[in-house]
Amino acid sequence: MFCDRAKVFIKSGKGGDGHVSFRRELYVPAGGPDGGDGGRGGDIIFQVDDGLNTLSDFRHVRKYIATSGEEGGKRRCHGKDGEDLVIKVPEGTVIKEFETGKVIADMSGENRREVILKGGKGGLGNMHYATSTMQAPKYAQPGQPAQELWVQLELKVIADVGLVGFPNVGKSTLLSRVSNARPKIANYHFTTLDPHLGVVDLGDGAGFVMADIPGLIEGASEGVGLGHDFLRHIERTKVLVHVVDAASTEGRDPVQDIRTILNELKAYNPELLTRPQVIAANKIDAIYTEEGAQNPLDALRREFEPEGIQVFPISGVSGQGVKELLYHINELLKTVDRKPVIFEKEFDLSELNMTSNLPFTVEQDKDGVYVVEGPRIEKMLGYTNLESEKGFDFFQKFLKVNGILTELEKAGIQEGDTVRMYGLVFDYYK
């Protein structure tokens, strides 16, 4: 089953905590601290897989979590790093932040592999905190927290040419005639619910990729009839081919059909109308014009050729006029940049709020006092003598290496403001 959208949860690995230990061996005087560093957490990496053309795998697995780094060990042993998690997607997949819809990455063109979430750094073991005044530090740095995010994956097909039009006008028939694609063809509306790609070979190295965009209807730009799902696949195309039923076999007016499609394209993304366009007036072998009535081909030419949109009468069934249409499309493609449309990055991953994952909280109470709490802080205050010089130096270093000072500054603290950590109250000065 074709699937072009998926909502998934991704989370990198947490950094391993630094270790607190001391070397205690017979005949080794003053062994000192030997706690090792924690391992790095695994990254979340997205990678293009040319063997994939759908996001259907994500219908069954919705959560992707990299492994965390392991805690450091005694004897200066470094904790094992967490393994990176590589998530494979088809080319053309756009990764968006779910809540805002902002683009994080576009897995197209040369962008074949990208780290989306970085794993946390491992914490430093207590061997790093030994000084001349603090020879037996009982503290190690915790590992950095993991990053987590809900993302929306959207597959936007990569094609040079997009066939657009109402249902049952012959788009699939045309694609099957000019390419190796074999879309489902039947005489009822919305036979095609998935985009199909076909390679058109004109010989001598000339050719292009053509996409059959499922039938659009009025209101598509507002989501009517799966409109948003279908319109999304037009965004990367370079040339738009309007396929209409010139014979009006279902009583539709081909001129009005094109106007309706143009309005829907404009409402969805006005930039689409700046791209080269051409009209394929299909089913000409079924045209029957009563004496004195206006020929539908003349009406199409009179309406659109003054706007620079050329009309080509064709028959997708017999192949009449198709060759001329294809060569004209090829000429239009020579006037545009054939490189795929790449969506610019909009979401800064540094915007990720990891405060909730920090091992402490920073809040301002009704009196304007900044209250900092957390189990590690409470434990540190229990064994640190702040009245001694080395104890006070250790306390200052603790605030810095754990990011507490950074979080206080983010909260808006100013010099002279009061900070409370359990029973400890002090004024903040840089």
Per-residue pLDDT band at 193 (split at 50, 70, 90): very low
194 assigned to a ligand binding site: yes
pLDDT(379) > 70: yes
Q: How many CA atoms lie within 13 A of 230 on its CB side?
A: 29
Sign of CA dihedral 113, 271, 279, 338: negative
Look at the domain 161-333 and name its fold. Answer: Rossmann fold (3.40.50)
168 assigned to a ligand binding site: yes
357 assigned to a ligand binding site: no
316 assigned to a ligand binding site: yes
pLDDT(357) > 70: no
283 assigned to a ligand binding site: yes
285 assigned to a ligand binding site: yes
Look at the domain 359-427 and name its fold. Answer: GMP Synthetase; Chain A, domain 3 (3.30.300)
pLDDT in tens, 392-427: 887 888 888 788 898 899 989 999 999 998 888 889
Q: What is the DSSP string of 286-341?
A: G----TTSPPHHHHHHHHHGGGT-EEEE--TTT-TTHHHHHHHHHHHHTTS--SPP
pLDDT(30) > 80: no
65 assigned to a ligand binding site: no
73 assigned to a ligand binding site: no
Mean pLDDT of the chain: 82
191 assigned to a ligand binding site: yes
pLDDT(135) > 80: no
Q: Residue 223: how many CB atoms within 10 A of its CB?
A: 12
176 assigned to a ligand binding site: no
49 assigned to a ligand binding site: no
2 assigned to a ligand binding site: no
Show the tokens assigned to 348. 């800064």
Show the tokens assigned to 252. 């539709």
Q: What is the DSSP string of 193-235?
A: -S-EEEEEEEETTEEEEEEEPPPP-TTGGGTGGGHHHHHGGGT
Q: How far lies 55's CA from each of 47, 61, 83, 155, in Å?
A: 13, 11, 24, 7
321 assigned to a ligand binding site: no
167 assigned to a ligand binding site: yes
Q: What is the pTM of this model?
A: 0.65
Contacts of 402-410 with CB under 8 Å at 24 or more apart are: 402/141, 402/142, 402/359, 402/360, 402/376, 403/358, 404/360, 404/362, 404/372, 404/377, 407/355, 407/358, 407/360, 407/362, 408/362, 408/370, 408/372, 410/362
Show the tokens assigned to 40. 């790095």
- Per the CB < 8 A criterion, the answer to whether 280 and 210 are in contact is no
Q: How far lies 229's CA from each of 12, 198, 221, 257, in Å?
A: 30, 20, 10, 20
**What residue ranges do the domains of the chain occupy?**
1-155, 161-333, 359-427
282 assigned to a ligand binding site: yes
Look at the domain 1-155 and name its fold. Answer: Spo0b-associated Gtp-binding Protein; Chain: A, (2.70.210)
Q: Residue 142: how many CB atoms within 10 A of its CB?
A: 25
348 assigned to a ligand binding site: no
pLDDT in tens, 324-346: 999 999 999 988 886 767 778 88
337 assigned to a ligand binding site: no
Residue 263 DSSP SS3? helix
213 assigned to a ligand binding site: yes
pLDDT at residue 306, as a whole number: 93
120 assigned to a ligand binding site: no
